[in-house]
Structure 1
């Protein structure tokens, strides 16, 4: 389920809590709304509110850290791709086929990570390496260096290719949202209780209802922010694919792509 759908569900639950509090206020006898009852409810909701605030803060911090980490990994992988192409260019013109295969592999990699230009079957199997990526590693090992310089470049190219593969696997393992659904349900339940207590002891009027709606919208917005940061390759806050795709520019200058 998308982040916007889950945040809308959270807003509906919070609004339902507000409505429940208003209904209870109208049907409960006055003795149930005494100052003692008000103090007990306020103490309880204060405790839940503190826990919910701490959890929201921790989740936002964790989601932001994960988002920044994956953004850094994308930049590192992009740099390694450009570096690998540089090694191959220095090796000699015989690496033109490998560079073309790498270009094709980067296109497939970007499409799979950002879930673009692919079928639903491909989207459900992100760990499966493409034929182009497998061929690049195979071609690198099949190179026959003629001197010490080429042997050094081949070794560095193979190591860089391995680093790219490791980063790719790390990114694919982090593509799913890490917030468990039961955890999210409990958090929404806490917020519903808190907002129900707000409307239980306040006479409903335009200011009260409007303020509660704004507060509920803010809480749902915090949940939306957490869910969006947890899905860095989708949604409106996704990491840009431009750096990785722009790395193709120097690679595209080599000989035409060979057919498989």
Structure 2
């Protein structure tokens, strides 16, 4: 959606620049004036390129970090299930709760649920992992091996819970909208000056249209990768689906 808005704004800025070309006096667009416009445009263009590069790098970093955290969480869930399996049949309910956690995560499509305004709590995964931890604490180990396994299971379940809250905090950060707004203003100024200096023919307008589409595509990528669990470019749920097949095995 934001990419389409940016494309529209840039197209409007280009057309406005082309229309202004016919209304300005000739001395406003003489050689000296165009030289100054080009110098000013170069400064704004450099700033825009740097801003776009920083935003793309930041979004890519967010995407890669989320992908790594998801895979690490899947590994912890599988390890937790195996530790509980080695403990004995007493952990059957806890293992079932763990499976429910994974199933709900897949059903929710990786999006973080919104806050319940009435209770001020986050519904979903934190309750499932706390149910697993409660059942683990209720265990009464009979041997030293079971006590070690219980402690290890509680440690891993704590890491899974920590990963969930990291997801919540990361999702709540959002995009730097002020930065994006300034960037769109810079880009609009650039395309407006392009239209102001460009001869009004189909070839020039087509090139500027393609450039506007390219810039809007870059903004789309930034927004999409900054939300790695939803959108067109999102983290695959295949590792979690594969883990679901392994959960509960003896």
TM range (shorter): over 0.9
Task: Find the aligned partners of 1:113 and 1:137 in 2 and give their Cα distance.
Answer: 24
Alignment RMSD (CA, Å): 2.2
Please state if 1:233 is matched with 2:238.
no
Task: State the aligned residue count.
Answer: 248
Please state if 1:52 is matched with 2:43.
no
Report the counterpart of residue 153 of structure 2 in structure 1: 157
> What TM-score do the two structures reach when normalised by structure 2?
0.92
Deviations 1:136-193 (A, max 9, x none): 1100011111111111111110000000000111112112463222221111110011
Report the counterpart of residue 26 of structure 2 in structure 1: 30
> What TM-score do the two structures reach when normalised by structure 1?
0.89
Task: Find the aligned partners of 1:173 and 1:131 in 2 and give their Cα distance.
Answer: 17
Report the counterpart of residue 257 of structure 1 in structure 2: none
Report the counterpart of residue 221 of structure 1 in structure 2: 217
Cα deviation, residue 61, structure 1: 0.7
SS at match of 2:199: coil
Task: Find the aligned partners of 1:233 and 1:126 in 2 and give their Cα distance.
Answer: 17
Deviations 1:3-62 (A, max 9, x none): xx1111101110011101100101111111111111111111100000000010111011
Please state if 1:74 is matched with 2:70.
yes
Please state if 1:250 is matched with 2:246.
yes
SS at match of 1:143: coil
Cα deviation, residue 131, structure 1: 4.0
Please give the residue correspondences for 1:1-260 in structure 2 after superposition, counting only pairs within 5 Å.
Answer: 5-112=1-108, 114-115=110-111, 126=122, 129-176=125-172, 178-253=174-249
Cα deviation, residue 253, structure 1: 4.3
Deviations 1:58-86 (A, max 9, x none): 11011101100000000000000000000
Cα deviation, residue 246, structure 1: 2.2
- Mark the CA change 1:78 to 1:129 in structure 2 (over 3 Å): closer, same or farther: closer
Query: Do the aligned residues in 2 keep the contact of 1:113 with 1:172 (CA within 8 Å)?
Result: no
Task: Find the aligned partners of 2:215 and 2:183 in 1 and give their Cα distance.
Answer: 10
Task: Find the aligned partners of 2:10 and 2:30 in 1 and give their Cα distance.
Answer: 24
Gaps of at least 5 residues in structure 1 are 255-260
Query: Do the aligned residues in 2 keep the contact of 1:137 with 1:158 (CA within 8 Å)?
Result: yes
Gaps of at least 5 residues in structure 2 are none
Task: Find the aligned partners of 1:101 and 1:90 in 2 and give their Cα distance.
Answer: 17
